[in-house]
Amino acid sequence: MKKSYLTYIVFCLLIICFSCNHKVKISNDLQIEHKVDSILNLMTLEEKIGQMSQIRHFENSSDKNITQKFIGSVIHTQGPKPGEAALDWQNRFTELQNKALSTRLGIPLLIAVDAVHGQNTFDGATIFPHNIGLGATKNEKLVEQIAKITAIESQATGFNWVFSPCVAIPYNEKWGRVYEAFSESTMLTEKLTKASVRGHQGILSDVNTVMATAKHFIGDGATDFGVEGGETSLTNSEINERLLAPYKVAVKEKVGAVMASFNKVSNISMHKHKVLITDTLKVKMNFDGIVVSDWQGYSRFGKNDIIKAGVDMVMAVDGNLDFFQNGLKKGVKDSMVSISRIDDAVKRILRQKFRLGLFEKPFSDVNLVSKIGIKAHRSIAKQAVRESLVLLKNKNNILPLSKEIKKIVVVGEHANNTGLQSGGWTLNWQGTKENYKGATTILEGIKKQVKGNVVYDKDGKQNHFDADVAVIVVGETPYAEFFGDIGHESNQLKLTLTKEHQKYIKIYQEKGIKTVVVLVSGRPLVVTNQINESDAFVAAWLPGSEGDGVAEVLFGDYNFSGKLPHSWPKSVDDFKGKYGPNFWDNSIEPLYPFGYGLKYKTE
């Protein structure tokens, strides 16, 4: 009797608490809406269009434009850095923020960065495996921790907004952005999208969180033949069934922004696809955040039509600002764009600025600078590297390797170059082939593990044929959007390894040396022959700054746990159709199915 009375009291208290919290939340949201409306009522058309504009931070007139053209946001991506040290970066953005605050209405800036695998634009930040590797970990808790750290290191360098996560679902490995996405599986992408948005945004008004962006809406990874910005020839129901789900999850997690995609759907540029942007994302799915255009979206994809379709903020970069602002102003004056559409866009932008707490705390916290690249962050990155490795073959249980081996030869330039092991969007847009600060190479990791003699054969010409084992690290050189598409006019990229890299494996295998191949790549490659030739084969994706995580698994400190986030193609012929050799074409048997991944024997 007494017990059930007590339970009743506890139950009532819980209900009261819940409804109080609920009320607090409702009243917070309402308060924000009131504040947004009262600012909007004061704004001129120029100020409204200003809020809808995003510019680069280093252009000649950036500072002046912020005060005179009422800019809503600045972006940092490829191009001059705001300084050397993190504090220089913060100082530059504080300077720009102060300019914005000095305007008539004092509306703070959103300050955005392409931090897609850590704060990868800053030399010395923790760089995580690209999303494809995180897909292989299937570990949502880890993805959330990684996003949290990315948020901290982004805030530490002055940003309150990141253009991440990419929630594409790639259908064709020829696409140069396969690695930016978690997986070809919608379900796995949903799970990791939720974790990523949660990790980045946490409690959005905290000083160590950032606004996230789900991108690129929609169909970016599903274009015919994997062409960046190409045509996505899927039906509406296929889009709904296969591609929309991660966005639904992101919206449920209150993601602050969604970026429009370069591709077309049903021959309509996504930037001006009103049915998908407004009717589907904003109305049906209830997304109340910002739809941001992609690079120069206004001039490239339909001018005022993109605003009419529902784009709220425009990357008016590289000389595009006046064209955008004047064009939109004229559109409103000529009644081609309704003022209610402009008001809706500005409300969305102001709403997110309030949710981020920017009106109270517009600047980054200087204390966060000491958190960049710290050991605790790197150890999470290293865990991610270990968990992302997928063991595809392990003949006669050659792995784990013994730490007592007398002589190991480590082969290939990818073994000793942190730029090569990190892929695109690392320090530079298209990546780097140089080592960068604070990172460790795969070779350094192997040297830490082994008591015996470790020799390095960078170019497969050193003939260390007396070695007991050859660890051969081969793969792709860094690339990013457009330049990473296989078949793009700018490159000679192939779905296979280069002749030189194929040779590295052959030379040692033909001499009867046991070969362990580690593949560093942003997508599954056609390596059927090389898998046959080697004793063990590991897909390592693009590990990022903690290359030594690879050795910890090769030498048995940890077992393999990664599982393929994509089905693995058998032959180049598999790519003859529109899509890759995955679930779109059931007649094609993959070499390894989605979810495949071995462990080594532990007894």
Report how many residues bind ligand BGC under the rule CB under 6 A.
7
Distance CA 53, CA 124 (A): 30
Is residue 114 within the footprint of ligand BGC (CB under 6 A)? Answer: yes
User: Which CB, 163 or 171, lies closer to ligand BGC?
Assistant: 163
Task: State in angstroms the smallest separation of the CB of 213 from ligand BGC.
Answer: 7
- The single residue among 153, 294, 305, 548 that binds ligand BGC, judged by CB under 6 A, is 294
Alpha-carbon radius of gyration of the chain: 25
User: Which CB, 128 or 560, lies closer to ligand BGC?
Assistant: 128
Location of structure tokens 């053209």: 69
Task: State in angstroms the smallest separation of the CB of 480 from ligand BGC.
Answer: 8
Neighbour-count burial of 104, counting CB atoms closer than 10 A to its CB (0-12 exposed, 13-18 middle, 19+ buried): exposed
Neighbour-count burial of 374, counting CB atoms closer than 10 A to its CB (0-12 exposed, 13-18 middle, 19+ buried): middle
User: Which CB, 215 or 514, lies closer to ligand BGC?
Assistant: 215
CB atoms within 10 A of CB 402: 14
Task: State in angstroms the smallest separation of the CB of 385 from ligand BGC.
Answer: 24
Distance CA 468, CA 24 (A): 67
Task: State in angstroms the smallest separation of the CB of 116 from ligand BGC.
Answer: 8
Task: State in angstroms the smallest separation of the CB of 267 from ligand BGC.
Answer: 20
User: Which CB, 77 or 103, lies closer to ligand BGC?
Assistant: 77
Task: State in angstroms the smallest separation of the CB of 328 from ligand BGC.
Answer: 20
User: Which CB, 388 or 428, lies closer to ligand BGC?
Assistant: 428
Q: Which residues neighbour 383 within 8 Å (Cβ) at sequence distance 6 or greater?
A: 142, 549
Strand 161-162: give its sheet, edge to edge.
161-162, 110-113, 73-76, 53-56, 314-315
Is residue 264 within the footprint of ligand BGC (CB under 6 A)? Answer: no
Beta strands in 44-131 (DSSP E): 53-56, 73-76, 110-113
442's enclosing H/E stretch is helix 442-449
Q: Which residues neighbour 279 within 8 Å (Cβ) at sequence distance 6 or greater?
A: none
Kind of pairing, strands 407-411 and 390-394? unpaired
Of 49-78, binders to ligand BGC (CB under 6 A) are: 77
- The single residue among 70, 89, 163, 508 that binds ligand BGC, judged by CB under 6 A, is 163
- The single residue among 481, 485, 535, 548 that binds ligand BGC, judged by CB under 6 A, is 481
Neighbour-count burial of 492, counting CB atoms closer than 10 A to its CB (0-12 exposed, 13-18 middle, 19+ buried): exposed
User: How far, CA to CA in Å, does 45 sit from each of 330, 340, 346?
Assistant: 11, 12, 10
Is residue 295 within the footprint of ligand BGC (CB under 6 A)? Answer: yes
Is residue 485 within the footprint of ligand BGC (CB under 6 A)? Answer: no
Task: State in angstroms the smallest separation of the CB of 114 from ligand BGC.
Answer: 5
Distance CA 141, CA 35 (A): 36
Distance CA 247, CA 454 (A): 48
Which x/- pattern over 74-93 shows residues binding ligand BGC (rule: CB under 6 A)?
A: ---x----------------
Task: State in angstroms the smallest separation of the CB of 140 from ligand BGC.
Answer: 23
Distance CA 26, CA 288 (A): 15
Nearest to 128 by CA among 508, 498, 383, 336: 383
User: Which CB, 73 or 388, lies closer to ligand BGC?
Assistant: 73
Which x/- pattern over 203-222 shows residues binding ligand BGC (rule: CB under 6 A)?
A: ------------x-------
Is residue 296 within the footprint of ligand BGC (CB under 6 A)? Answer: no
User: Which CB, 55 or 142, lies closer to ligand BGC?
Assistant: 55
Does the active-site annotation cover 294? Answer: yes
Distance CA 229, CA 297 (A): 12
The token duo for 104 is: 């008539």
Spot the catalytic one: 180, 294, 387, 476.
294
Task: State in angstroms the smallest separation of the CB of 222 from ligand BGC.
Answer: 15
Distance CA 552, CA 571 (A): 31
User: Which CB, 163 or 579, lies closer to ligand BGC?
Assistant: 163
Spot the catalytic one: 47, 220, 387, 481.
481
User: Which CB, 482 or 558, lies closer to ligand BGC?
Assistant: 482
Q: How remote is the C-alpha of 376 from its chain's centroid?
A: 21
C-alpha dihedral (96, 101, 103, 109), degrees to nearest 10? 60
| Chain residues in the site for ligand BGC (CB under 6 A) | 77, 114, 163, 215, 294-295, 481
Active site residues: 294, 481
